[in-house]
Amino acid sequence: MTKITFFICTLVGSILLFAEPYVAQAEQAGSSPAAQTANSSPASAVDPTKNGEVLFATSCGWCHSNGGREAGRCPKLAGSTRSDDFIINRIKNGKEGRMPAFGQTFNDAQIQNILHYIRSLQP
C-alpha cells in the first residue's frame, strides 16, 4: 500500500515536473509557433480577433474547413452554440481520435484570441 502511494506520488510528481517547464518555456520564451506569433505580432495587443485569425490559419485551418466557416474534416465553428468554456476546454484538451490537444501549444491569451476569431465568424 505504501509502495503504491509512493508510486502514485512519484508518477504525479514526474508529470508535473515534465509539464511545468514545458508550458513555462512556451509562455515565457515564446517558443511555440503560436507564442511566437502572438509575441511578435503588433496586432495581438489591439486586435485579438485578427491575432486569432492568424493562429487559426497556422494550426487549425488544416481540419476546420474554410477557416471554420463550414463543415469538412471537422465541425463547422461559425455560429457554434457551444459555450465559451466548452470551446476553450476542447482547444486545450482535444478529443481522442478526432482533435489534438493544444493546451501545450497555445497559452490562455492565445486561446482567448482564437475564441474571439471563432465568435466573429458569420453563422
Partner 1 sequence: MRKQSRNIAFAAALVAGTMLGTTASMAQMVDSKRLETADRDAKDWLMYHGSYKDYNYSGLGQINTSNVKNLEVAWMHFPGRTTRGMQSMPLAADGVVYYSGSYSRLFALDGATGKVLWTYFPELDDALIARQTHSPYNRGIAMGDGKIYVGTVDGRLIAVDMKTGKPVWDTKLINSQKLTVGFTGAPLFVRGKVIIGSQGGEWPVQGTIFAVDAATGKEIWSFSTTGGTEEARKTWGNDTWRVGGGGGWMPGTYDAETNTIWWGTANPSPLYDWSPNWQTDGARPGINLYVTSVIALDPDTGKLKFYHQELPHDNWDFDSAIGEFVMIDRGGKHYMVHPNKSGFIFVYDRANAKVENVWPLVHNYNFVKGIDPKTGELIGRRDFSAGPQSEPLCPAIAGGVSWNSGSYSPKTGLYYKIGNEWCITLEVVKTTPITEPQVQLNIGANFKMAPPPSGTIYGHLDARDPITGKLKWEVKFPQPPLASVLSTAGNLVFVPDARGILHAYNAETGTELWSHDDGIGHNGGIISYMAGNKQYIAVEAGFGGLVGDDYGSMFGEPWKSMPRDAGALIVYSLK
Provide the binding-site residues for partner 1, judged by CB under 8 A: 31-34, 36-37, 40-41, 53-54, 56-59, 61-63, 65-68, 70-74, 93-94, 96-98, 100-102, 104-105
CB of 12 to partner 1, least distance (A): 13
Distance CA 108, CA 11 (A): 26
Nearer to partner 1, 32 or 111 (CB): 32
Distance CA 39, CA 115 (A): 18
Q: Where are the beta strands (DSSP E) in the chain?
A: none
Distance CA 80, CA 76 (A): 8
CB of 17 to partner 1, least distance (A): 13
Nearer to partner 1, 2 or 97 (CB): 97
Nearer to partner 1, 2 or 45 (CB): 45
Contact 110, 49 (CB under 8 A): no
Contact 110, 55 (CB under 8 A): yes
CB of 18 to partner 1, least distance (A): 8
